[in-house]
């Protein structure tokens, strides 16, 4: 069909949409819930509960990732993980992903193939049975990955942010502040002026490498979402913008105050409170010891002047607001 | 909260994410199928059939629309319509939209408000009961609208592309080639060199205005999708890339040849065959008169050397492939 020369790793602009889609689909697993997969006008996914949980989250080159720092695999993995976490935070089991890719014409095919691998492996590792069931491919000067995740409640009620009750224990599953530490490693160690430069992992200690992985390839505890729901979680959300900001949101939705125990937040309390992108699960449970996988970090108290207290005192709001914090000109 | 001056129509970069989301949500209707709407980690939508139909399609500034030509309302409407059409083409009823917006910081709030209006009104007009249930807002230099649509099969089997049988009648509902005519009006009449300039509708005849509407604010026959399924459609798809290309796809999936009657394709057969973006529904039905809303345009015959015939003769492949056809440098 195509008379142009083909090198081993062509640019996307030299391929047809069909060629690129075939390369992606060759690397896409079939999900356990997939009734009709990619290739038709739309996919069909089992929703045995009679409802479907749905969320969408986008990663844009610049504010959300840099190609100097993230491989295609990293980007696919992270794009999957952050969306799976939102499904898990409702107490649902992820069933399917849809991926809308907007790609520059000079991007290499191998990058997109690795991206597809990242999606597949993140599903296999974090949410077995879930798979990419559909997508869209378009051209853009800015590499953009918009993902929609679907999930099933398996007959349970959704666990919203608004169900926390006074006396509940506040608990968390997953890391706090590790992804933020990873970001600070990237910004502090792998820039030339404002320009990101490739990561030299050999130059890093084990802690820094782990933090980097938490930033570039996060592993939120997806299975603990449905587990928490079964265990009676009264409210739940994933921590995407930092514990302080997200705990405030949960407190506001539930019309309570969340009183955290600073001693339960690890060595660097400020980073645990302010650091986003770990996608840990924040949940409240009836009084007592939280279920396995969760650790108690505080208590729900009656709504006071402040929605969030740490060791009894109010804390400054902090967290990540892309509209305020990102400036494309300064890297 | 904010000490900066506020003019009547602030730029998004001067607002917080929360402020922008509130403005959007104020303009978002509640859907008939919405169990939990925007504001939590994920939405919950009724899926009474025990399955959910899902599709995603993205509009990127440059290849897919130009702000000089499309208002926010137009963009919201079209982004909804093209996704609703994919749901309808499976024979499903659209139930929900999720909208991932990536917006430049200098975009005006009023544009995003109009976009939300466009989504709401397109749902009201084309798919009553369907509504935006969730979304995501991020920063990008390239305005990008990635939409996921969900639908319910109401107990029916999905109508795929692969079910056409020899002897079936080939039928279409909706326009053919109007959106392409609209695009040619835009490119021919409203550019200064390669730069899009605002549309002067007064300079256009009624036919050109209608074609422009078909391009900027398409109204695919969404309700006829489920109707066709009930009437026994054996295969169906929406025509996004032109009748010739999409009929070939349906023929290939069904392992048949589609033999079209050129006389049934209107005055401009070439445009009807090649013009994309109308999102008409192409369907096959058991022999006989197709159901109301559909017009017969041909017949399914045994798979021959060519997947598509018009008046008995093969036709050149044509249609829109964004990877080949779009060059950002040339407008």
Q: In chain B, where are the structural domains located? A: 16-152, 169-325
Q: Do B41 and A134 touch (CB under 8 A)?
A: no
- pLDDT for A321 beyond 70: no
Which of A:165-194 have CB within 8 Å of B?
A: none
Q: Which of residues 281-300 of B touch A (CB under 8 A)?
A: none
End-to-end CA separation in angstroms for chain B: 42
Per residue of chain B (331 residues), what is the pLDDT tens digit?
Answer: 344 445 689 999 999 999 999 999 999 999 999 999 999 999 999 999 999 999 999 999 999 999 999 999 999 999 999 999 999 999 999 999 999 999 999 999 999 999 999 999 999 999 999 999 999 999 999 999 999 999 999 999 999 999 999 999 999 999 999 999 999 999 999 999 999 999 999 999 999 999 999 999 999 999 999 999 999 999 999 999 999 999 999 999 999 999 999 999 999 999 999 999 999 999 999 999 999 999 999 999 999 999 999 999 998 765 555 444 443 333 3
Average pLDDT over residues A162-177: 97
Place of tokens 């610049």: A62
Q: Which residues of A are annotated as a binding site for substrate?
A: 64, 277, 320
Q: What is the CATH number of domain A169-324?
A: 3.90.650.10
Spatial neighbors of B145 by CB under 8 A, at least 6 apart, are B58, B59, B75, B76, B79, B99, B100, B101, B102, B115
List of chain A residues whose C-beta atoms are within 8 Å of the C-beta of residue B46: 50-51
Tokens of A4: 């142009």
Average pLDDT of the residues in A196-205: 94
Q: What pLDDT score does B317 carry?
A: 60
Look at residue A1 in the predicted model and tell me its pLDDT.
Answer: 39
What does the pLDDT average to over A130-137?
Answer: 97
Percent of chain A at pLDDT > 90 equals 92
* Over residues A60-70, mean pLDDT: 95
* CATH class of the B169-325 domain in this structure: alpha beta
Extract the tokens encoding B79: 């982004």
Q: Is B201 on the interface with A (CB under 8 A)?
A: no
CATH assignment, A16-152: 3.30.1330.10
ipTM: 0.92
Give the pLDDT confidence of B191-221 residue by residue, as tens digits: 999 999 999 999 999 999 999 999 999 999 9
Is B132 within 8 Å of B34 (Cβ atoms)?
A: no
Q: Does A150 contact B at CB distance below 8 Å?
A: yes
> Residue A220 in contact with residue A279, Cβ under 8 Å?
yes
Q: What is the pLDDT, as a whole number, of residue A8?
A: 87
Whether A175 contacts A293, CB under 8 Å: no
- Specify the 3-state DSSP secondary structure of B253: helix
pLDDT of A134 reads: 96
Contact between residue B60 and residue A139 where contact means Cβ atoms under 8 Å apart: yes
pLDDT reported for residue B331: 34
């Amino acid at each position: 069909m195509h008379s142009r020369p083909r090198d081993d790793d062509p640019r996307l602009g030299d391929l047809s949409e069909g060629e690129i889609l075939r390369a992606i689909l060759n690397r896409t697993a079939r999900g356990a819930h997939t009734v009709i997969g990619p290739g038709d006008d739309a996919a069909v996914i089992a929703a045995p509960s009679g409802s479907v949980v749905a969320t969408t989250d986008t990663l844009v080159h610049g504010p959300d990732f840099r190609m100097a720092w993230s491989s295609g695999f990293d980007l696919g993995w992270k794009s999957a993980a952050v969306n799976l976490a939102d499904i898990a935070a409702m107490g649902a089991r992820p069933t399917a992903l849809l991926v809308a890719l907007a790609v520059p014409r000079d991007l290499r095919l191998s990058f997109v193939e690795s991206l597809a691998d990242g999606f597949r492996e993140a599903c296999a590792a974090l949410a077995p049975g879930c798979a990419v069931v559909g997508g869209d491919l378009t051209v853009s000067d800015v590499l953009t990955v918009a993902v929609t995740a679907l999930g099933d409640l398996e007959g349970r009620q959704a666990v919203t942010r608004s169900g926390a009750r006074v006396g509940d224990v506040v608990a968390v599953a997953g890391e706090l502040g590790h992804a933020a530490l990873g970001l600070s490693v990237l910004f502090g160690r792998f820039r030339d002026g404002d320009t990101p430069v490739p990561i030299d992992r050999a130059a890093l200690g084990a802690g820094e490498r782990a933090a980097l992985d938490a930033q570039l390839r996060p592993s939120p505890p997806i299975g603990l979402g449905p587990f928490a729901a079964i265990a009676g979680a009264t409210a739940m959300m994933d921590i995407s913008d930092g514990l302080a900001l997200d705990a405030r949101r949960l407190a506001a939705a539930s019309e309570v105050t969340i009183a955290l125990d600073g001693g339960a937040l690890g060595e660097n309390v400020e980073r645990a409170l302010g650091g986003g992108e770990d996608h840990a699960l924040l949940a409240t449970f009836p009084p007592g010891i939280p279920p396995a996988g969760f650790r108690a970090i505080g208590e729900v108290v009656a709504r006071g002047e402040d929605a969030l207290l740490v060791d009894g005192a109010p804390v400054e709001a902090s967290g990540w607001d892309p509209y305020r914090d990102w400036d494309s000109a300064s890297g």
